Amino acid sequence: MNNSSPPVKIYTAFAQSASPGYMTPVPQTTSTPGQFSWTIGSGPETFLAPGSGGTPPLGDSFNGLMNQMSDNLRWINAGGIFQYDATYATNIGGYMQNAIVQMASGNGFWRSTVNNNLVNPETGTPSAPATGWAVITPNTYPWSQITGAPSFVLNSAFTGANQSLVTNGYQKFPGGMIQQWCSVGLTSVSDQISTIAFPIAFPNSCFNVQVTVLDATLSGANASNQIIGGVSSFSLSSVNVLLGQNGGGARNITVMVNAIGR
């Protein structure tokens, strides 16, 4: 079949405007000559010539058959989905696996997870479905069933052993990136290189290290005695910080380090 050439949809049920007496609903079975039934269809008498005792198919019965069939097709054409029907389920031996019925509330759908399902899904709830049924709610679908669906990262991938939110700490991100930071107090700063260890060693690479010098005494008489800090080199586990000042005397400073790697 070619999906570019769909059939014409059914707008009205067959014989919808038939006058009274010109349409009879099709029974499950019948003994009336010429009448259709769901169990035997058109009876054997309709296959015999009238001179041989045959009876032609009744027009009202034909109208009733086509009306019921086309009415169901019209419902399907319009996108309709039936609700659970216990009588119907009993007559067909239960709903098949993956059959979908509308919730009585109209807020979603039940999907049968087994064949020959006779359990009424309305005995369950969306949060606790009845045995043999699953829930499909509007605009909510399993990501595994959607092509190109994004993957979500659980909160646990950011917390626990993947982080240490303290003064000298780190954060491991899904995908492998690691950010870490630390603060180290130093004294007697004068053109010296201080090695500062990272809170943890980077497993593979260290991409970038930045240092900030905090000098709480940089005021008053010491305002011009500035501290200069920079990165001399770094490794997976530490950074060498070059420090100097344009004035003399011992100074108490804090060096803050921010490093990114993987």
* 56 CA to centre of own chain: 58
122 in Cβ contact with 131 (< 8 Å): no
Please give the structure tokens belonging to residue 60.
Answer: 């009202």
Classified as helix, coil or strand, 122 is helix
37 in Cβ contact with 29 (< 8 Å): yes
**Does an H or E element contain 207, and which?**
strand 206-214
Q: What is the Cα–Cα distance from 198 to 202, expressed in whole angstroms?
A: 9
- Residue 126: φ, ψ to 5°: -55, -35
* 157 CA to centre of own chain: 19
The domain segmentation of the chain, as residue ranges, is: 86-136, 156-261
- pLDDT digits (tens), the chain, 262 positions: 677 788 888 889 999 999 999 999 999 999 999 999 999 999 999 999 999 999 999 999 999 999 999 999 999 999 999 999 999 999 999 999 999 999 999 888 999 999 999 999 999 998 899 999 999 876 655 666 666 666 677 788 889 999 999 999 999 999 899 999 999 887 666 557 789 999 999 999 999 999 998 876 655 455 556 677 889 999 999 999 887 766 655 567 788 999 999 9
Q: What is the Cα–Cα distance from 220 to 41, expressed in whole angstroms?
A: 107
Strand-pair partners of 42: 36
The burial class, CB within 10 Å (0-12 / 13-18 / 19+), for 220 is exposed
First to last CA, the chain: 54
Q: Which CATH number fits domain 156-261: 2.60.120.560, 2.60.40.3940, 3.30.720.210, 3.40.50.11890?
A: 2.60.40.3940
Asked whether the whole model's pTM tops 0.75, one would answer no
Residue with the two structure tokens 């991409």 = 207
